[in-house]
């Protein structure tokens, strides 16, 4: 069934454009049915999962390469899958209202569902290579979705940046996967899971960790690869909600969580994963300080949240992993809501600048309600889901050491600030005067409020009654990471303890920070460094383009003879190198048997060739070429090849006639090249000629493979019933080659006919007339 | 003859390359003709020369008794001769058409696509 859920969404992706044409403005609702059904299906798996039943399925793909289509749905996979399908359904509905019918929405849904299917593939894949393929498919669909409004240059640039960063990270990760597969001697994740001991002991362990971390960090926008995520906000808001807050950026988190039983538990893991996570968590919050665009604020807070998740995985204790799972779900819910709300605000007010917005609570009550619930969850107000997650995160960092705790508090504090700024202030504080907003705001359509309301409601509901999650989802997910059955008891209220006090302190400080937001913003703006990784990225891309145009100018100069010189010199160099390496060896035994008329023919050929190149007269040159050809034909005749001789005589005569006919229409020879260049060409020509002479001497003495001629000689009569063996080879043994040759001739004939008969003059005259009329039309 | 033919082949190559490097399109075509002679002779010589009879089974016999010439390179060269004729014919037509269109046979002036 698992594999069908992935395939069904791929199917939906390709059916989406015609379905959209059919259902018009209602398409969002219709297309959400399948993701909704999948959510229900995934939920129905949970009770079985709690009893330890794990769905898995595997089809053989390639025996020799050890590839299988292996899918597996354990607790961790399902936690992600529920986010993907659930939020996916709401985003599908939302997008219907957001886009209306103005944009090619079928194309949007195609890539949205293509992404959804790939993402489900990532979390269900039980095979490293399969996971990698789905991983890259998510990068691809992300590229298409960020660049959805492809007529805007910024959108295109952001799409390319996201693709380059995550795509190249994915390739690095593939190298890590290959090493991991070699060391663990399996591609199956579920088998690899049992071989963690051996992997960690391997000398390749460090390389594996680094390579895979680069893949995960690029995807999940961890420092120093975080810069692509804020730029990806060029995507339409439903895309940002879905890919760049709720699901795709969590793929790296998923991968780390999935592999932590195999790779985790070492000091490198703790400091690389935990450390980078902590840095990202704080950095995301700090970088948000100077932002005023709601979407960019949310993007930086997403970076910060991803950092928290990664840090929890790095710490790796049971509490930390519990915090990771809870925070994952909580963040998906509240951040999804806030992004959708941002889209609605943008849609209804025409701006996303927090400085301009205010007092929307009365005008957009449902949106405001969803937003408030989500913001309170994000800020970590007690009884909300975000509070619960933060409690566990604090507890885990508290146990891990003071440094982790300080960083966690700092990260959370900054997120309180962002939550207030994006989720609360635009609705409940008076902003600048309403009249200044580009649009007169009013409540968004129903399709755009249902998502925020459901997700916001869940942020409260799941926070108040976390018990319903504990045994069915959190325990199986933790068990999947721990490798043994883990019992989790979640409670909304833990009583009054140090951690709670710390939470309240965070909230309080967050409110204070919000109160002085304008000063903070001024300070942060002064801190902004003019250079950064984004600049580095742009510089290197510019450099790449410059290198490309430089080498194009250098190599593609358009002078035919320099191309030829390059080819000739390269061939001569390689051949000469080969001859020198071969080192002379024993020169073949040369027979000195030479007859005078043969020598005469040889001299005639060379003299005729010389005349062909020296003659000032075109006719003379062509006649000399013909004489050389006749000479070659005579050699064929003398050395047992009458067929060749016959053909050569015939063809040579025809060639001369053709030349003469063509010359009637062509200009006389002219001396075009200066003396020095001619000298250079002469040297190249003579060197090539000498080399070819040596080459023939050497080659005639070497036989690498036994000749297959004997086969033709013996079988010409019995198999092909022909006595002229050359002809038998051409029309029978190698008949298909001859067919190809005839085809070439036919095409050449057609080409000649077209070149001679094509009436360029008339056509260009007509083309000139149309440009003239076109110009006239332009003038009027 | 094994002594002389490599020299002939080398000379033909040298002359062909020189002509291919000319700026005049027609000279280039003559170079092409020389090049195909050189290459055909190269194949012919590399397979080994023999003054013996052609690879044709006499009517009275039911198989060919050695010595005889090698039929395989002959088949290859036969194909090459015919193809090179096709190439020459096409190239000449192209030169004719190019000259009619841009009024030059100087390759340097045909560098750009826009006339």
Q: What is the DSSP code (8-state) at residue A485?
A: -
Residues B19 and A314: their CA atoms lie apart, in Å, by 71
Q: What is the CA radius of gyration of chain B?
A: 20
Whether A745 maps to a domain, the answer reads no
Choice between A378 and A101, residue whose per-residue pLDDT is larger: A378
pLDDT band at A769 (very low <50, low <70, confident <90, very high): very low
Whether residue A685 and residue B40 make contact (CB cut-off 8 A), yes or no, is: no
Contacts of A756 in chain B (CB under 8 A): 93, 96-97
Whether residue A628 and residue B77 make contact (CB cut-off 8 A), yes or no, is: no
- Compute the CA torsion angle A502, A506, A507, A513 (nearest 10 deg): 160
CA distance B73 to chain A (A): 9
CA-nearest residue to A608 within chain B is: B12
Whether residue A606 and residue B68 make contact (CB cut-off 8 A), yes or no, is: no
Write down the pLDDT at residue A277.
93
Contact A130, A69 (CB under 8 A): yes
pLDDT at position B101 over 50: yes
Task: Note the pLDDT tens digit of each residue in B39-71.
Answer: 999 999 888 888 878 888 888 888 888 888 889
Nearest CB to B57 within list A666, A691, A723: A723
Nearest CB to B34 within list A599, A609, A737: A609
Write down the pLDDT at residue A355.
81
Residues A280 and A300: their CA atoms lie apart, in Å, by 10
What range defines the domain where residue A501 resides? 265-515
**Lowest-confidence segment of A129-133, A480-484, A761-765 by average pLDDT:** A761-765
Whether residue A669 and residue B4 make contact (CB cut-off 8 A), yes or no, is: no
Whether residue A696 and residue B6 make contact (CB cut-off 8 A), yes or no, is: yes
Beta strands in A250-384, from DSSP E residues, in sequence order: none
Specify whether A247 is located in the same domain as A288. Answer: no
Residues A327 and A337: their CA atoms lie apart, in Å, by 15
Specify whether A568 is located in the same domain as A476. Answer: no
Write down the pLDDT at residue A139.
93
Proportion of chain B above pLDDT 90, given as a percent? 50
The label of the residue with tokens 């692509």 reads A228
The label of the residue with tokens 């903070």 reads A520
pLDDT band at A774 (very low <50, low <70, confident <90, very high): very low
Q: Which of residues 55-114 of B touch A (CB under 8 A)?
A: 55-59, 62-64, 68-72, 74-75, 77-79, 81-83, 85-90, 92-97, 99-101, 104-108, 111-112
Cα angle value A576/B12/A631 (rounded, 5°):
140
pLDDT band at A776 (very low <50, low <70, confident <90, very high): very low
Whether A232 maps to a domain, the answer reads no
Please give the structure tokens belonging to residue A467: 């018990």
Specify whether A188 is located in the same domain as A326. Answer: no
Task: Note the pLDDT tens digit of each residue in A507-558.
Answer: 888 888 888 888 888 887 777 666 677 888 889 989 999 999 999 888 888 8
Whether residue B85 and residue A594 make contact (CB cut-off 8 A), yes or no, is: no
Contacts of B53 in chain A (CB under 8 A): 640
Last residue in a domain, options A515, A531, A552: A515
Whether residue A723 and residue B58 make contact (CB cut-off 8 A), yes or no, is: yes
Specify whether A695 is located in the same domain as A720. Answer: yes
Specify whether A273 is located in the same domain as A377. Answer: yes
Write down the pLDDT at residue A773.
42
Residues B76 and B38: their CA atoms lie apart, in Å, by 14
Please give the structure tokens belonging to residue A240: 């940002």
Q: What is the DSSP code (8-state) at residue A731?
A: I
Of A190, A212, A474, give the one whose Cα is nearest residue A318.
A474
Give CA separation, A34 vs A38, A41, A89, A230, A238, in Å: 6, 10, 8, 31, 18
Specify whether A600 is located in the same domain as A506. Answer: no
Contacts of A590 in chain B (CB under 8 A): 2-3
Last residue in a domain, options A704, A728, A752: A728
Please give the structure tokens belonging to residue A288: 């948000």
DSSP string, A614-675: H-SSHHHHHHHHHHHHHHHHHHHHHTT-HHHHHHHHHHHHHHHHHHHHHHTTSPPP---S-H
Write down the pLDDT at residue A771.
45
Any chain A CB within 8 A of the CB of B41?
A: yes
Of A496, A549, A313, A520, give the one whose Cα is nearest residue A420.
A520
Q: What is the DSSP code (8-state) at residue A61?
A: E
Contacts of A616 in chain B (CB under 8 A): none
Cα dihedral sign for A284, A285, A291, A296? positive
Whether residue A612 and residue B34 make contact (CB cut-off 8 A), yes or no, is: yes
* Beta bridge mates, A73: A55
CA distance A562 to chain B (A): 8
Contact A180, A206 (CB under 8 A): no
* Spans of all domains in chain B: 5-51+69-106
pLDDT band at A779 (very low <50, low <70, confident <90, very high): very low
Mean pLDDT computed over A123-150: 92
**Lowest-confidence segment of A13-27, A120-134, B67-81 by average pLDDT:** A13-27
Choice between A599 and A51, residue whose per-residue pLDDT is larger: A599
The label of the residue with tokens 């000469």 reads A576
Nearest CB to A640 within list B46, B68, B92: B68
Q: What is the DSSP code (8-state) at residue A170?
A: H
CA-nearest residue to B62 within chain A is: A717
Contacts of B19 in chain A (CB under 8 A): 612-613
Specify whether A504 is located in the same domain as A574. Answer: no
Whether A741 maps to a domain, the answer reads no
Whether residue B97 and residue A752 make contact (CB cut-off 8 A), yes or no, is: no
CA distance A284 to chain B (A): 52
CB–CB contacts below 8 A, A to B: 282
Nearest CB to A724 within list B52, B56, B107: B56
Mean pLDDT, chain B, rounded, equals: 88
Choice between A780 and A330, residue whose per-residue pLDDT is larger: A330
Contact B44, B81 (CB under 8 A): no
The label of the residue with tokens 């999948």 reads A38
Per the document, the length of chain B is 115
Looking at chain A, the number of H-run helices and the number of E-run strands are 37, 2
Q: At what angle do helices A75-99 and A251-263 cross, to 10 degrees?
A: 170
Specify whether A247 is located in the same domain as A272. Answer: no
DSSP SS3 for B104: coil
Neighbours of B104 (CB within 10 A): 16
Whether A758 maps to a domain, the answer reads no
Whether residue A592 and residue B3 make contact (CB cut-off 8 A), yes or no, is: yes
Q: What is the DSSP code (8-state) at residue A24?
A: G
Contacts of A729 in chain B (CB under 8 A): 71-72, 75
Contact A39, A28 (CB under 8 A): no
Whether residue A644 and residue B57 make contact (CB cut-off 8 A), yes or no, is: no
Q: How many domains does chain A have?
A: 3
Whether residue B81 and residue A651 make contact (CB cut-off 8 A), yes or no, is: yes
Contacts of A639 in chain B (CB under 8 A): 1, 44, 49-51, 69
Whether residue B8 and residue A665 make contact (CB cut-off 8 A), yes or no, is: no
Specify whether A475 is located in the same domain as A590. Answer: no
User: Distance from first CA to last CA of chain A, Å, rounded?
Assistant: 66
Residues A656 and A144: their CA atoms lie apart, in Å, by 59
Q: At what angle do helices B71-102 and A642-663 cross, to 10 degrees?
A: 0
Residues A299 and A232: their CA atoms lie apart, in Å, by 9
Residues A479 and A53: their CA atoms lie apart, in Å, by 12
CA-nearest residue to A730 within chain B is: B75
Write down the pLDDT at residue A463.
83
Please give the structure tokens belonging to residue A22: 């059919």
Task: Note the pLDDT tens digit of each residue in A287-305.
Answer: 888 888 889 999 999 999 9
Nearest CB to A692 within list B13, B33, B77: B13
Write down the pLDDT at residue B8.
95
Specify whether A154 is located in the same domain as A286. Answer: no
Fold of the domain built from segment(s) B5-51+69-106: Helix Hairpins (1.10.287)
Contact B9, A632 (CB under 8 A): no
Write down the pLDDT at residue A778.
37
pLDDT band at A731 (very low <50, low <70, confident <90, very high): very high
CA-nearest residue to B68 within chain A is: A640
Whether A259 maps to a domain, the answer reads no
Q: Which of A567, A605, A627, A682 to mutate to test the interface with B (most CBs of B within 10 A)?
A: A605
Neighbours of A724 (CB within 10 A): 17
Specify whether A145 is located in the same domain as A50. Answer: yes
Whether A465 maps to a domain, the answer reads yes
**Lowest-confidence segment of A43-57, A101-115, A435-449, A530-544 by average pLDDT:** A435-449
- Residue A607 CB partners (closer than 8 Å, separation 6+): none
Task: Note the pLDDT tens digit of each residue in A239-253.
Answer: 988 988 888 899 999
Give CA separation, A191 vs A186, A262, B36, in Å: 7, 10, 63
Residues A388 and A380: their CA atoms lie apart, in Å, by 8
Contact B74, B81 (CB under 8 A): no
- Compute the CA torsion angle A470, A472, A477, A480 (nearest 10 deg): 120
Contact B69, B50 (CB under 8 A): yes
Whether residue A666 and residue B112 make contact (CB cut-off 8 A), yes or no, is: no
pLDDT band at A88 (very low <50, low <70, confident <90, very high): very high
Specify whether A138 is located in the same domain as A108. Answer: yes
Of A332, A446, A313, A311, give the one whose Cα is nearest residue A378.
A332
SS (H, E, C) A569-618: HHHHHHHHHHHHHHCCCCCCCCCCCCCHHHHHHHHHHHHHHHHHHHCCCH
């Amino acid at each position: 069934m698992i594999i069908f859920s992935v395939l069904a969404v791929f199917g939906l992706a390709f059916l989406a454009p015609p379905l959209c044409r059919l259902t018009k403005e209602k398409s969002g609702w219709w297309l959400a049915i399948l993701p909704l059904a999948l959510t229900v299906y995934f939920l129905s798996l949970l009770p079985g999962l709690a009893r330890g039943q794990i769905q898995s399925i595997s089809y053989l793909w390639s025996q020799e390469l050890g590839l299988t289509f292996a899918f597996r749905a354990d607790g961790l996979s399902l936690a992600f899958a529920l986010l993907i399908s659930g939020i996916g359904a709401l985003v599908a509905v939302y997008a219907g209202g957001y886009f209306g019918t103005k944009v090619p929405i079928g194309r949007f849904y195609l890539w949205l569902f293509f992404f959804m299917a790939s993402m489900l593939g990532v979390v269900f894949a039980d095979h490293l290579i399969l996971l990698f393929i789905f991983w890259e498919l998510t990068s691809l669909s992300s590229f298409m979705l960020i660049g959805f409004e492809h007529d805007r240059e910024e959108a295109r640039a952001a799409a390319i940046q996201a693709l380059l960063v995550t795509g190249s990270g994915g390739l690095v990760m593939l190298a890590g996967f290959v090493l991991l597969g070699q060391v663990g001697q399996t591609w199956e994740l579920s088998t690899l899971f049992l071989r963690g001991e051996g992997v960690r002991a391997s000398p390749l362990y460090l390389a594996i960790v680094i390579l895979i971390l680069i893949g995960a960090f690029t995807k999940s926008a961890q420092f120093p690869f975080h810069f692509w995520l804020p730029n990806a906000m060029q995507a339409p808001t439903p895309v940002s909600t879905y890919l760049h807050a709720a699901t795709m950026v969590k793929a790296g988190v998923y991968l780390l969580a999935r592999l932590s039983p195999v790779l985790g538990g070492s000091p490198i893991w703790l400091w690389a994963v935990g450390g980078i996570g902590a840095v990202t968590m704080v950095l995301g919050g700090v970088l948000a300080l100077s932002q005023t665009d709601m979407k960019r604020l949310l993007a930086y807070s997403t970076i910060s949240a991803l950092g928290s998740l990664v840090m929890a995985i790095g710490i790796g204790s049971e509490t930390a992993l519990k915090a990771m799972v809870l925070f994952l779900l909580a963040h998906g819910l509240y951040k999804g809501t806030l992004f959708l709300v941002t889209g609605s605000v943008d849609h209804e007010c025409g701006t996303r600048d927090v400085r301009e917005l205010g007092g929307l609570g009365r005008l957009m009550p449902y949106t405001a309600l969803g937003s408030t619930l989500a913001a309170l969850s994000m800020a970590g107000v007690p009884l909300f889901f975000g509070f619960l997650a933060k409690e566990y995160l604090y507890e885990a960092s508290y146990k891990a050491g003071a440094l982790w705790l300080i960083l966690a508090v700092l990260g959370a504090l900054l997120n309180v600030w962002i939550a207030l700024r994006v989720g609360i202030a635009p609705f409940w504080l008076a902003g600048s005067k309403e009249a200044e907003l580009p649009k007169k705001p009013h409540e968004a359509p129903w399709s755009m409020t249902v998502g925020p309301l459901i997700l916001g409601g869940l942020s409260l509901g799941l926070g108040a009654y976390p018990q319903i999650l504990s045994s069915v989802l959190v325990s199986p997910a933790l068990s999947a990471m721990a490798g043994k059955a883990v019992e989790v008891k979640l409670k909304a209220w833990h009583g009054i303890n140090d951690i709670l006090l710390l939470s309240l302190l965070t909230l309080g400080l967050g409110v204070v920070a919000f109160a002085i937001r304008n000063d903070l913003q001024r300070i942060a703006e002064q801190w902004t460094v003019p250079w950064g990784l984004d600049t580095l990225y742009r510089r290197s891309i510019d450099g790449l383009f410059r290198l490309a145009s430089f080498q194009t100018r250098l190599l593609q100069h358009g002078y035919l003879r320099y191309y030829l010189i390059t080819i000739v010199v390269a061939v001569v160099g390689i051949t000469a190198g080969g001859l020198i390496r071969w080192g002379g060896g024993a020169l073949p035994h040369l027979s000195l048997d030479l007859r005078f008329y043969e020598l005469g023919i040889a001299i005639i050929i060379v003299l005729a060739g010389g005349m062909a190149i020296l003659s000032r007269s075109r006719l003379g040159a062509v006649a000399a070429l013909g004489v050389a050809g006749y000479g070659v034909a005579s050699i064929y005749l003398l050395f047992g090849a009458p067929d060749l001789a016959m053909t050569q005589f015939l063809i040579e005569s025809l060639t001369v006639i053709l030349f003469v006919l063509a010359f009637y229409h062509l200009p006389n020879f002219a001396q075009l090249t200066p003396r020095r260049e001619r000298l250079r060409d002469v040297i190249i020509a003579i060197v090539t000629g000498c080399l070819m002479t040596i080459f023939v001497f050497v080659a005639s003495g070497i036989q690498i493979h036994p000749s297959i001629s004997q086969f033709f000689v013996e079988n010409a009569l019995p198999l092909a019933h022909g006595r002229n063996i050359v002809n038998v080879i051409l029309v029978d043994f190698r008949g298909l080659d001859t067919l190809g040759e005839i085809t070439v001739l036919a095409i050449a004939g057609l080409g000649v006919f077209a070149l001679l008969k094509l009436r360029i003059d008339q056509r260009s005259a007509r083309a000139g007339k149309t440009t003239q009329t076109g110009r006239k039309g332009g003038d009027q | 003859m094994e002594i002389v033919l490599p020299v002939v082949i080398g000379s033909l190559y040298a002359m062909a390359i020189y002509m291919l490097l000319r700026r005049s399109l027609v000279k280039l075509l003559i170079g092409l003709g020389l090049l195909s002679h050189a290459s055909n002779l190269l194949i012919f010589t590399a397979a080994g020369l023999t003054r013996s009879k052609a690879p044709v089974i006499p009517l009275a016999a039911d198989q060919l008794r050695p010595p005889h010439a090698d039929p395989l390179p002959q088949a290859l060269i036969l194909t090459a001769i015919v193809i090179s004729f096709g190439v020459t014919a096409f190239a000449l037509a192209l030169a004719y058409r190019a000259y009619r269109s841009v009024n030059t046979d100087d390759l340097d002036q045909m560098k750009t696509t826009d006339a």
